[in-house]
Structure 1
Amino acid sequence: MLEKGLTPDRVTFSSMLHACSHSGLVDEGLLYFANMAPMYGIVPDSEHYTCMVDLLGRAGHFEKATELIQRMPTFQYPALWSALLGACQKWADVTVGKWAFEQAIQVYDSDSPYLCMFNIYTAAGMHEAAKNIQVMRLVRRARKFQGPTAKGL
């Protein structure tokens, strides 16, 4: 691409980071991400950060992934937490999983974080904690579908 005089844009970087994530090319992804702003003037957005968290999480680099999240301007993106929870499920990382779960339920309006955390606890043999997550999920659903209360009318 560069040899033909074409300059990468934000979509190109998203595609490259996504490809690195699914190919296990951690060093290459880190290099592309690091060069986005200084070499091409492209400020990473939520999609780029999510790709990087996915890349690092899939490779089991949870410390780097959490450091990256903490450096983000904001991390109110459901896809970001979904990527991290998926990696925690793959690697059975309960500690990071609990942190990601706590963040995810603040921004995610679905059962997905609960199901991931349930699976993380189950894989770790923490069946009582898994049951508690299941109860939390059911309580959330009941509140969501309860409708307006008399006070709210």
Structure 2
Amino acid sequence: TEKEKQASAKEPWLIFTSTEEFKPREIMKLYSRRMQIEQNSRDEKSERFGFGLRASYSRSAGRLSVLSLLATLSTIVLWLIGYHAENTGLHLRYQANSIKSRRVISYLTLAENVLRHSPLILKRTALDVVLHHLARTYRSMVLVY
């Protein structure tokens, strides 16, 4: 049930680390970003929804390098569009559940959905402005090495 999920999300975390360089709160901030990383990784690998590089049947290192570069650049643009969509409230249109307090789909999936329905958003979105906003936000959330 929803109450059980909320209760489990509030349970304390027990995280082991070998570093003494960071305070516990800083370690928690870093660790809390793992879900976004896992969602992005899953979305990128997916044959159906992601880049599905295996489907290219490329075997040469040069060709795989180019495909990886294109996938990386695409991921960055999609991530920025997804981030922008969340900040403008567009994510609420694409969530198939009743949770309205937070985004529940990855930035990549959100961006793909937004672009599918509103491709002209690219003309109206200044990605450099979104990138600067993202950088300011993340500096306060996550330590930058």
TM-score w.r.t. structure 2 length?
A: 0.25
TM-score w.r.t. structure 1 length?
A: 0.24
Q: Which is richer in helix?
A: 1
